[in-house]
Amino acid sequence: MEPKGLVESFQARFGQKIRAVRIDEIRSNLGIYSYPVIWFEIDREVLHDAVAHLISFQFPHLATISGRDLGKEIELTYHFSIGYGQRRGEQSVNFRLRVPKADPRVRSICDLVPGALTAEREKIEFLGVQFEGIPDSRNIFLPYGMKEHPWRKDETGVKGAWLE
């Protein structure tokens, strides 16, 4: 599907829950070909449905979920590709959303994309985001019992026994 058609499909399905859309064209190193990068800014409540809608076109490849502390909110960006591995057929589709630090919850997408588990667990540990419905929320990077979230700007850092 062409990027414009994909965007129109999302806009028809989600309406005002899509806050903004941008399509970039990335050119290869030699300028021989290009591929589209689609950016959706969405409300957190529609993430799960947006991923399901993307799957209805083609099962996507999830590269990662990136996250950053914006002060009062945490921004999450889900980086997908469709047409992955098809010569000159790949499209990057990214969903960006914000969760307030006072209520850092979002629905897990692990039931749709099982490979999201590690990235979601990383965001639990490092940013304190809670994923509703995640099948396993145990720590995999930081020590069990650690309450600090190292990527958050409002936390003062690791203290006590964790430093010894």
Antiparallel, parallel or unpaired: β 18-27 and 34-42:
antiparallel
Q: How many CB atoms within 10 Å of residue 159?
A: 10
Determine the CATH number of domain 3-156.
3.30.460.80
| Cα→Cα distances 62→52, 92, 94, 149, 161, Å | 13, 10, 10, 24, 36
- Whole-model pTM: value is 0.90
Read off the DSSP letter of residue 141: S
- The residue among 53, 41, 51 whose CA lies nearest residue 9 is 53
Give CA–CA dist 40/49, Å, rounded.
13
Give CA–CA dist 21/38, Å, rounded.
7
Q: pLDDT of 12-38, one tens digit each?
A: 999 999 999 999 998 877 777 788 999
The tokens describing 67, both together, are 């996250």
Cα-based angle 123, 126, 130 (whole degrees, multiple of 5): 45
Give CA–CA dist 145/141, Å, rounded.
12
Mean pLDDT of the chain: 91
Give CA–CA dist 56/49, Å, rounded.
11
Give CA–CA dist 123/104, Å, rounded.
11
Q: pLDDT of 74-110, one tens digit each?
A: 999 999 999 877 777 789 999 999 999 999 999 999 9
At residue 109, the pLDDT reads 98
* pLDDT confidence bin for 56, thresholds 50/70/90: very high
